[in-house]
């Protein structure tokens, strides 16, 4: 079908190479730099509803069914998002990420980067806000 877009091809364009490189080295300073200078791939609630120009209202978070703790999942590349998460992904700008973290800092317990690998890392929302504000 000539006019139809393929989600896997569209997802291939969604990445932050700097963030991927920083996660590979495990260097939190490099991760902070990558977050300040490029977009981050986030899972979104509904790819069909894009009425929020900042994209922050659409960001999907994970709630642990055992504890109720909320985690934000960020990805360096859309191909690293597990298939069990909502299918939609989007790029969130550094300002959008800062806005989202600021609005939900008290609710989010932890932030995971590339949770399914290949180079998973974890941070607190407070640490990421400090990194984005630096």
Q: Mind listing the pLDDT tens digit for each residue in 27-63?
A: 999 999 999 999 999 999 865 544 454 555 689 999 9
Query: What residues contact residue 103 under an 8 Å CB cut-off, 6+ apart?
Result: 56
Check pLDDT > 90 for residue 107. Answer: yes
Fold type of domain 10-133: Trna Endonuclease; Chain: A, domain 1 (3.40.1350)
Q: Where are the domains of the chain?
A: 10-133
Tokens of 11: 């997802």
pLDDT in the model for residue 13: 77
């Amino acid at each position: 079908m000539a006019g139809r877009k393929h989600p896997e091809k569209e997802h291939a364009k969604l990445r932050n190479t700097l963030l991927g490189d920083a996660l590979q080295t495990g260097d939190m300073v490099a991760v902070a730099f990558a977050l300040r200078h490029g977009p981050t791939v986030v899972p979104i609630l509904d790819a069909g509803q894009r009425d929020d120009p900042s994209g922050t209202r659409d960001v999907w978070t994970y709630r642990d069914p055992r504890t109720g703790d909320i985690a934000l999942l960020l990805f360096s590349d859309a191909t690293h998002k597990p298939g069990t998460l909502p299918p939609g992904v989007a790029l969130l700008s550094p300002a959008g990420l800062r806005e989202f973290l600021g609005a939900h800092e008290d609710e989010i317990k932890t932030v995971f980067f590339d949770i399914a690998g290949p180079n998973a890392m974890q941070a607190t929302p407070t640490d990421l806000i400090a990194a984005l504000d630096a």
